[in-house]
Structure 1
Amino acid sequence: MDTTPLTPGHFLIGRPLMSVPSAPAQNCKTNRYKALEQLRQAFWERWRMEYMAELQNRAKWRKGTSTIDVGDLVILKEDNLMPLHWRMGRVTKLYPGGDGISRVADIYTSTGTIKRAINKLCPLPVHQG
């Protein structure tokens, strides 16, 4: 077996990052492959539910009531996509409500600027050295 092209992506999703997404594990024919697919899909679902929620919580603790600021780099959570396909973007504008708390933001992404609810954004941690 040729192991020279292995990357972290091979271990995270079980194949090259640019490969076609696999079918749901229920549609798999062999037990071994089905078990591997179920494990991989469970990993991504757990990562989406736990790690991304943790990023949001940490930002709330760190910044008080304002979790997102203009210029922050964020991941856009999208329920209908696998986490590997979630877009990244930068906050360009905040829309504060009557109480002064922003709940909507403009996000600049590779496909243009979109408006998104702040609870669907996960600020990425920035290392300040």
Structure 2
Amino acid sequence: MGGCWERLVRSVKSALAALQIERNPDDETLWTVVTEAEAIVNSRPLTYVPLDTEDQEALTPNHFLMLSSSGVCQPQKDLVDDRRQLSCNWRLIQNLLSQFWIRWVKEYLPTITRRTKWFKETKPVQNGDVVVVVDEGARNGWIRGRVVRTLAGKDGRVRQADVETNTGVIRRPVAKIAILDVLQSKA
């Protein structure tokens, strides 16, 4: 019954376990890393939103939890006054969060990509599919879009797709596209 979220918890635990966190991190560092990891996980898109609408924001778990898509809330503690310590802590936390993002993408994206090699035929990417573009871009940067054109290889199989995003149309190989299981409403 709870397979979806249990799989999500497992991938988060695995990504956190792979981080190069020192043996006994201070509470603030650990709290920040876990909180940012939570924001990353809860900012993944859950629904389809047409790209041509005023509201360019897909529904995310953060909408339910924090009443905003970003999941940002005000700090609960006073900041450290020592600039060197603050700078050192910030760099450490940014490094840990980058490691988490890389690992999270490695763990999570394969669970939403349905193309398995050699075992069985899968439905190819089609025009109109809602997708997340797998990019080695900024942390927590989910580029979503809609497939507007597919390009077949010499063997007749779809190998590339043009994806319409809110910034324009980009071409990506199908291995770098994760199809979202969401239904488009015909309005």
Give me the TM-score of the superposition, normalised by structure 1.
0.63
Shift of 1:66: 3.7
| 3-state SS in 2 of match to 1:84 | coil
2:168 pairs with 1:112 = yes
- Tell me by how many angstroms 1:64 deviates: 2.4
The residue that corresponds to 1:43 in the other structure is 100
Change in Cα spacing, 1:83 to 1:124, as seen in structure 2 (3 Å) is farther
Structure 1 residues 59-112: Cα deviation after superposition (integer angstroms, max 9, x where no partner): 225x82444121111111112x13422311100111112211010111111011
2:187 pairs with 1:126: no
Unaligned runs of 5+ in 1: 1-7, 18-26
The number of aligned residues is: 105
**C-alpha separation between the residues in 2 aligned to 1:11 and 1:127?**
26
User: Over aligned residue pairs, what C-alpha RMSD do you find?
Assistant: 3.4
Select which of 156, 163, 177 maps to 1:100: 156
Counterpart pick for 2:39 among 3, 12, 27? 12
Distance 1:67 1:83 in 2: 28
Aligned to 2:135: 78
Letter in 1 for 2:156: G
> 5+ residue gaps in structure 2?
1-34, 41-70, 74-85
Aligned partners of 1:98, 1:30: CA distance in 2, in Å? 52
Change (3 A) 1:114 1:11: closer
Aligned to 2:109, the other structure's residue is in SS state: helix
Distance 2:151 2:141 in 1: 26
Relative to structure 1, the CA distance from residue 55 to residue 11 in structure 2 (aligned partners, 3 Å threshold; closer, same or farther) is: closer
2:26 aligned residue: none
What is the TM-score with the length of structure 2 in the denominator?
A: 0.46
Q: 2:37·2:97 contact (CA, 8 Å) conserved in 1?
A: no
Which of the two has higher C-alpha Rg?
2
1:96·1:102 contact (CA, 8 Å) conserved in 2? Answer: yes
Q: 2: CA distance between counterparts of 1:115 and 1:41?
A: 26
- TM-superposed CA distance for 1:127, in Å, is 6.2
1:105-126 CA-partner distances (Å, limit 9, x unpaired): 1111101112211111111122
